[in-house]
A and B are shown apart, each in its own frame.
Chain A
């Protein structure tokens, strides 16, 4: 039950909640933490109106656990948190990844580590979002840079999660979460909503972890006659534990191959003035807003600058960086951390262009002038 179509002033966190409802969210479990709390508050209000369920759990571990249970029972499910809570959720994220249970985990980044500056923005969780849980695992991480983008992108987060049966991390930052901007809510009929693949065979024939050509095994809801087993132990196609080397190997390789197959469908990148650019900024989240201004200012001053705005951080959009690196002499990577994605940019650029980081870690967003100055240097 999405809110009424039309233009509205919304806060980023509100757009996240509204977008999730539009995507078909029916279960939310969370534990309050700044700067993500408004998402829970909004959903406590909206979910029951749509016949959905909201619960405030006793902690973040309980919250991620509850959404996985809810998803297995057939509901589109989400949790939202920030830094310290995101750390607590890691074991559960690994469980969802390995058992292929769709769910969306929102992390509104704040200054860390530890309690840090709870009310101030940072982009320090980019690597944790990718590798926070133990073990080799695929994951999709999306990152919006505006309130309108938050609304649209959280819908994609659900669609990816359901379509490909994987947890999706939605990595916001404090600025995007708390600022208010115009969002044009589309009519329900204009919103594409994906559903998880469900079994087309009888319970007797159902193999819960046997995948077809798209490498995604159909998923039955609990309570619909398919009495199957789900475990975080390494499992075979039947869903039961295995330690056979060939099966252990096969599971990790299938999940990796599934991610590769999904990659073109889950990679969202905006290229702005990149085609003829001599210098390119690679940015994400609120930093991409400053970068877009910096690029315009540079052009006004006669410097051919361009912007790669990544809305998908993982899988990393290698191809966009590789192509830009072929033409540009340098790529600047401003981040509100000591340099996390800059290393990925460097890897993808593979020496074709100079890659230069720009770090800001004083609890303030990076300004257009700072980026412009770096563009003029390189």
Chain B
């Protein structure tokens, strides 16, 4: 295909709300390149988000788009996917949106293995509300609500979602933008629940408080701390401390939820099963 990224943008809705140096635009670019590489029909793509800086992305995209309530994007997307299983349903979410208020929906969608591709823009902070700590803020980092340093441990979101039952999980970063695009393309092509964690930078609220004053510094941090899955396998555990694994972290074939439900419809319409009290 190879359409320019602008083909998928509602350019009339620009300028966007993101700060200078924010990594969300790079992640969004990877999403659009992924969609383009799959040659998807714009009419058959639905992009759903929650609330936050990342969740403002769908407003700029020329698809069927839905900007919902904080944390609930996956639940809204579940209704859409069930009614229109033939559509590609993609959720764009922040780390707070996906892992805090929306954490329950995330693991249950993974458990059902419903065909929704979720991309989590992980900037380690609540950007929209000016820099409070999130469930993905590293221990010891500073945030407006962790002025003495964060004493909580972050999730490994990919491990969590895979353990819950997803068909595909992967991690990339704004620095590793081309890898990220390939991973997102695989996620969207997955027949089941897929999840890509995109490590991205928030110089305004995370960087400033954590001695990384510029986006460039933060991108360098991503470059230096991202370790490929193959590389990580060869490294001693102590060298991996503070680093994050990038690449495909889990892929398996499991029945997709709406296909299973289609079988229920077939059976019910043939008059099989459906006893009130067996």
B104 touches A228 (CB 8 A): no
Confirm or deny: B155 has a beta carbon within 8 angstroms of a beta carbon on chain A: no
B66 touches A69 (CB 8 A): yes
Nearest CB of chain A from residue B86's CB, rounded to whole Å: 8
Q: For chain A, what secondary structure do more than half of its interface residues adopt (helix, strand, loop), or is it mixed? A: mixed
B59 touches A231 (CB 8 A): yes
Name the CB-closest residue of B to A94: B69
Partner of A48, one of B13, B77, B268: B268
Partner of A222, one of B69, B87, B265: B87
Q: Give complex CA distance A4, B264 in Å.
A: 22
Q: Which of chain B's residues have a CB closer than 8 A to the CB of A45?
A: 274, 276
A223 touches B268 (CB 8 A): no
B68 touches A65 (CB 8 A): yes
Nearest CB of chain B from residue A99's CB, rounded to whole Å: 9
A70 touches B64 (CB 8 A): no
CB neighbors of B among A25-76 (8 A): 26-27, 29, 45, 48-49, 51, 53, 55, 57-59, 61-63, 65-75
A232 touches B67 (CB 8 A): yes
A48 touches B108 (CB 8 A): no
Q: Which of chain B's residues have a CB closer than 8 A to the CB of A59?
A: 104
Confirm or deny: A224 has a beta carbon within 8 angstroms of a beta carbon on chain B: yes
Given contacts A69-B76, A95-B68, 12 further A-B contacts (CB under 8 A): A48-B265, A51-B269, A65-B69, A66-B82, A71-B79, A72-B80, A73-B79, A222-B66, A225-B43, A227-B42, A227-B65, A230-B67
Q: Considering residues B69, B76, B268, which has the most beta carbons from chain A within 10 angstroms of its beta carbon?
A: B76
Confirm or deny: B75 has a beta carbon within 8 angstroms of a beta carbon on chain A: yes
Confirm or deny: B72 has a beta carbon within 8 angstroms of a beta carbon on chain A: yes
Name the CB-closest residue of B to A68: B76
A69 touches B59 (CB 8 A): no
Interface residues in A, total, Cβ within 8 A:
44
- On B, residues with C-beta under 8 Å from A are 10, 13, 42-44, 46, 48, 58-59, 62-69, 72, 75-80, 82-84, 86-87, 104-105, 108, 261, 264-265, 267-269, 274, 276
| Contact A241 to B59, CB < 8 A, known contacts A45-B276, A66-B78, A230-B66 | yes
Q: Which of chain A's residues have a CB closer than 8 A to the CB of B276?
A: 45
Q: Give complex CA distance A61, B268 in Å.
A: 28
Q: Which of chain A's residues have a CB closer than 8 A to the CB of B264?
A: 48
Q: Which of chain A's residues have a CB closer than 8 A to the CB of B79?
A: 27, 29, 65-73, 77
Name the CB-closest residue of B to A27: B83
Nearest CB of chain A from residue B84's CB, rounded to whole Å: 5
Nearest CB of chain B from residue A69's CB, rounded to whole Å: 3
Confirm or deny: A233 has a beta carbon within 8 angstroms of a beta carbon on chain B: yes
B265 touches A51 (CB 8 A): yes
Confirm or deny: A91 has a beta carbon within 8 angstroms of a beta carbon on chain B: yes
Q: Which of chain A's residues have a CB closer than 8 A to the CB of B76?
A: 65-66, 68-69
B80 touches A70 (CB 8 A): yes
B261 touches A53 (CB 8 A): yes
Binary contact readout A81-122 vs B (1 if CB under 8 angstroms, 0 otherwise): 000000000011001000000000000000000000000000
Nearest CB of chain B from residue A180's CB, rounded to whole Å: 15
Nearest CB of chain A from residue B172's CB, rounded to whole Å: 27
- Can you pick out 9 interface pairs between chain A and chain B where the beta carbons lie within 8 Å of each other? A45-B274, A48-B261, A57-B78, A66-B79, A72-B79, A73-B46, A73-B87, A225-B43, A229-B67
Q: Give complex CA distance A241, B72 in Å.
A: 19
A229 touches B59 (CB 8 A): yes
B46 touches A223 (CB 8 A): yes
Nearest CB of chain A from residue B17's CB, rounded to whole Å: 9
Q: Give complex CA distance A293, B86 in Å.
A: 55
Q: Give complex CA distance A57, B79 in Å.
A: 10
B83 touches A57 (CB 8 A): no
B68 touches A232 (CB 8 A): yes
Binary contact readout A150-181 vs B (1 if CB under 8 angstroms, 0 otherwise): 00000000000000000000000000000000
Partner of B83, one of A63, A70, A224: A70
Q: Considering residues B65, B68, B75, B86, which has the most beta carbons from chain A within 10 angstroms of its beta carbon?
A: B75
Nearest CB of chain A from residue B53's CB, rounded to whole Å: 13
B67 touches A231 (CB 8 A): yes
| Contact A69 to B48, CB < 8 A, known contacts A57-B78, A61-B72 | yes
| Contact A66 to B67, CB < 8 A, known contacts A27-B82, A227-B42 | no
Partner of B64, one of A49, A53, A228: A228
Confirm or deny: A240 has a beta carbon within 8 angstroms of a beta carbon on chain B: yes
Nearest CB of chain B from residue A58's CB, rounded to whole Å: 4
B64 touches A62 (CB 8 A): no
| Contact A49 to B274, CB < 8 A, known contacts A65-B68, A70-B80 | yes
Nearest CB of chain B from residue A342's CB, rounded to whole Å: 34
A222 touches B105 (CB 8 A): no
Q: Which of chain B's residues have a CB closer than 8 A to the CB of A67?
A: 79
Nearest CB of chain B from residue A257's CB, rounded to whole Å: 25
Nearest CB of chain A from residue B49's CB, rounded to whole Å: 9
| Contact A223 to B87, CB < 8 A, known contacts A48-B269, A65-B72, A95-B68 | yes
Name the CB-closest residue of B to A57: B75
Q: Give complex CA distance A58, B104 in Å.
A: 8
Q: Considering residues A29, A51, A223, A227, which has the most beta carbons from chain B within 10 angstroms of its beta carbon?
A: A223
Q: Give complex CA distance A233, B1 in Å.
A: 34
Partner of B80, one of A48, A73, A224: A73
Name the CB-closest residue of B to A52: B265
Partner of B75, one of A66, A71, A223, A241: A66
| Contact A227 to B43, CB < 8 A, known contacts A59-B104, A62-B105, A240-B59 | yes
Name the CB-closest residue of B to A42: B276
Q: Which of chain A's residues have a CB closer than 8 A to the CB of B269?
A: 48-49, 51
Nearest CB of chain B from residue A245's CB, rounded to whole Å: 19
Q: Give complex CA distance A226, B276 in Å.
A: 41
B78 touches A95 (CB 8 A): no
A222 touches B64 (CB 8 A): yes
Nearest CB of chain B from residue A317's CB, rounded to whole Å: 32
